[in-house]
Amino acid sequence: MEYEVHPAAECVRLMDDDELASLVADIKANGLVDAIVLGQVNSVATKKLVDGRSRLKACGLAGVEPRFETRQFADDAEIRAFVASRSERRNLTRGQSAMRLAMLWPEPQPGKKTKGSATTLSETNKVSTARISQARMVLRYSPELAIAVRDGVRSLDDAIKQVDAERKALESAEAMSARLRSEAPDLADLVVDGRIKLTEAVGALDERKRTADRERRTATELLNSVFNILWPRGSNPDEWAARLLTDVDLKFWLTTNGPLTADTLLSCAKTMQSIANQWRQSHD
Q: Which domain holds residue 170?
A: 92-177
Task: Identify the bridge partners of residue 253 per DSSP, sorted by sequence position.
Answer: none
- Kindly report the backbone phi and psi dihedral angles of residue 253, in degrees, each rounded to the nearest multiple of 5, phi listed first: -75, 135
Neighbours of 174 (CB within 10 A): 10
Q: What is the dihedral of CA 252, 258, 260, 262, to 10 degrees?
A: -170
| Boundary of a domain, candidates 137, 155, 177 | 177
Has residue 47 been placed in a domain? yes
Q: Tell me which residue of 52, 62, 56 sits closest to 22, measured CA to CA.
A: 62
pLDDT score of 120: 52
CB 55 within 8 A of CB 34: yes
d(CA 148, CA 165): 17
Shared-domain flag, residues 84 and 96: no
Contacts of residue 253, Cβ cutoff 8 Å, sequence gap at least 6: 260
Same structural domain for residues 112 and 171? yes
Instruction: Give residues with Cβ within 8 angstroms of 143, minimum separation 6.
Output: none
Question: What values do phi and psi take at 69, rounded to 5?
Answer: -135, 125
Residue 230 belongs to a domain: no
Q: Which carries the bigger pLDDT value, residue 215 or residue 43? A: 215
Helix (H, G, I), strand (E, B) or coil at 117: coil
Average pLDDT value for residue range 211-226: 90
Pick the range with the lowest mean pLDDT from 47-61, 151-165, 202-216, 241-255: 241-255
245 and 260 part of one domain: yes
Segment 155-180 shows an average pLDDT of: 93
CA-CA distances (angstroms) from residue 113 to 80, 106, 129, 132, 191? 15, 17, 13, 16, 52
Cα R_g (the chain), whole angstroms: 39
On whether residue 228 sits in a domain, the answer given is no
Q: Do 86 and 114 fall within a single domain?
A: no
Domain CATH code at residue 44: 3.90.1530.30
Domain final residue pick, 177, 197, 224: 177
Q: What is the pLDDT of residues 252-283, one digit of tens each?
A: 888 777 888 898 889 989 999 999 999 899 88
**Half-sphere exposure (Cβ direction) of 192: Cα atoms closer than 13 Å:** 10
Q: What is the pLDDT of residues 76-129, one digit of tens each?
A: 899 999 998 887 666 788 999 999 999 999 988 765 444 445 445 554 557 889
The answer to the question of residue 196 being in a domain is: no
In a domain, 28, yes or no: yes
CA dihedral 169, 175, 178, 179 (to 10 degrees): -120
What would the mean pLDDT of 134-159 be, rounded to a whole number? 94
Domain count of the chain?
A: 3
- Give domain status of residue 187, yes or no: no
Output the pTM of the full model: 0.61
Mean pLDDT on 236-254: 86
Cβ atoms of 27 and 64 within 8 Å: the answer is yes
What pLDDT is recorded for position 160?
Answer: 96
